[in-house]
Chains A and B, each alone.
Chain A
Amino acid sequence: MNVNLEIPEKKETINDEVRISVRDLNLYYGDFQALRNMTLDIPENAITAIIGPSGCGKSTFLRLFNRMNDLITGVRVEGIVELDGVNIYDRDIDVVELRKKVGMVFQKPNPFPMSIFENVAFGPKRHGRKNRVELEDIVEKSLKQAALWDEVSDKLGQSALALSGGQQQRLCIARVLAVEPEVILMDEPCSALDPIATLRIEDLMRELSKNYTIVIVTHNMQQAARASDMSAFFMMEEDRAGVLVEWGATEKVFTNPQDKRTEDYITGRFG
């Protein structure tokens, strides 16, 4: 893997269109504050990387956007998270609708113990698509988008668990794409994969970022530098609450960080 921090060709301009904006956000697990005073914009059709040391609340932050934190008891959120100008923490927000719009890829590939076809068709089926021909179209389109079609087109009926780790992760991406989301959240999607599979996923992310807003949590600095347009650097304070230290264009954050802590972290002095 290429280890130098030189930034490969990027989009000339980052889309100014703000897709998600976070304002004065605090999140608590019971008495413990996990995120403090976060304010941040996520641009449309670009890749935003969340970087920072372990335990600084990166995943918690990511899970704000599809309200997966709701599944944990004792979580309290203060502040505003706006998606297309609508606060997703409003009381009358339909979480199921929100999650259709905001898909998520997890750290460990987690295909269902079903066939490849059923995995991809799972979301559309839950949302009322029952027509077999229509489902076949969706499955083919999603698998092609996820660059997996050529490898699995002749074995759609086979168990998804028989695929390799990298293939499973692309299947999970296809499964998300089948729901036709607008935003895709990725929680360290490559941490369980080998370098070659990792590069394939990164290529895929680049490709998808033309049409989707992607937010990725990563531990891998090279990955953030290589693959993202925007970067947000998180740290934790003495009481272990996560804070946002710095955010902006990846190029800027990596080559000319404004904060000493960012510089120390990306040059490997700690973390």
Chain B
Amino acid sequence: MKQKQRDSDAQAAAVPANELGRRWRLGEKFIESWIYLAGLLTIVVLLGIIILLIKEGLPIFFDTPPWEFFFGTKWYPVSEPPTFGIMPFFVATLWVTIVATAISVPIGIACAACLSEVAPEKVRETVKPVIELLAGFPSVVMGFIGLMLLSPLVQSVFHLPTGLSGLTAGIMLAFMSLPIIISVSEDALRAVPDEFRQASYALGATKWETIWHVCIPAALSGITAAVMLGVGRAIGETMTVLMVAGGALAVPVSPTEPMMPMTAAIASGIGNAVRGGLQYQALFAIGLILFILTLAVNLIADRVLERQKRKFQR
């Protein structure tokens, strides 16, 4: 009698459990397809952007041959006939990025090494969030700081006719990419197993030698990623360079000249461009080149990392 009672109890309990399992699987299916869709959407949007850039930008080459477009030094979109040579913008982007990278990479890696290897835990815990907070600084504000504080300084130190120059923009960009370089490099350095440090110290290496010859090489893939993120930010940053780079249209021979990087050229020109007109197409073509540039930076970084991985892993 009792046995029977228990059996029927078990049956009563089993039904809802089964039902629950079915619902659970349904929910699982739903979430799975939702994630799948979200992933697909990202790819579709990305492809859409690329197609748009190509569709809007490429027709400029029917008017201006690629040779003239890339190596032309005159950008006169509204004269008659208009000329579209992007050399001044391209060289400007190059200068600004070189200055920004030259400043931010050594300082960034040094800061990261200092935070992860030297600073006491308490200092690290307070400094790191503050640095990461700086990454969220609006670029317009950085532009203001560049205008008000940095450009007079650059002008007087280098005895320039104007403080608005590629150098000023590069320094500002260095500041802006520093947080990301520091933060990501620091993570990479902290991920280096302590065994390596111990082994190094036990062999009689100093702290500095351990950082330089063991920790940084072991974290190199993460540090490279950090540098690429930083460089990517420097290439793509618009508002700050628009405000402090000076906006001159000549091909800059030195970083101390005022100049107009590609992003600034697009931002300042697009408002006046007639939709579908030649200038409009030319600006989109610049956008396309920017896209290819950042893509190339990422691909090269991937290659470097891949080669390094193959060399030093099983």
Contact = CB atoms under 8 A, between A and B. Distances in A.
Interface of A: 66, 68, 71, 96-100, 103-104, 106, 108, 110-114, 122-123, 125-127, 159, 161-162, 172, 175-176, 179
A126 B200 CA distance: 10
Contact of B202 (A68, A114, A161): A68
11 contacts: A96-B206, A99-B202, A103-B203, A106-B195, A106-B202, A110-B193, A110-B199, A113-B218, A122-B213, A161-B313, A176-B203
Interface string B196-221: 10111111111001000110011000
Contact of A159 (B193, B201, B311): B311
A103 B204 CA distance: 8
Contact of B214 (A112, A162, A179): A112
A97 B203 contact: no
Contacts, number: 73
Contact of A100 (B204, B213, B218, B314): B204
A114 B203 contact: no
Interface class of chain A by DSSP: helix
Interface of B: 193, 195-196, 198-206, 209, 213-214, 217-218, 311-314
Contact of B314 (A110, A162, A179): A162
Given A96-B206, A126-B204, A176-B203, 14 more contacts: A66-B202, A68-B201, A71-B198, A97-B204, A99-B202, A99-B203, A112-B199, A112-B200, A113-B196, A113-B218, A113-B312, A123-B203, A172-B199, A179-B203
B217 A113 contact: yes
A68 B202 CA distance: 7
Contacts of A172: 199
A126 B209 contact: yes
Contacts of B209: 126
A175 B313 contact: no
B307 to A, nearest CB: 13
B109 to A, nearest CB: 18
A100 B203 CA distance: 6
B312 A161 contact: yes
A66 to B, nearest CB: 6
A179 B204 contact: yes
A99 B204 contact: yes
4 tightest A-B contacts by CB?
A110-B195, A99-B204, A100-B204, A104-B202
A176 B199 CA distance: 9
A112 B196 contact: yes
A162 B198 CA distance: 21
Contacts of A99: 201-204
Interface centre among B193, B201, B206, B214 (most CB of A within 10 A): B201
Contact of A71 (B193, B199, B201, B312): B201
A108 B195 CA distance: 8
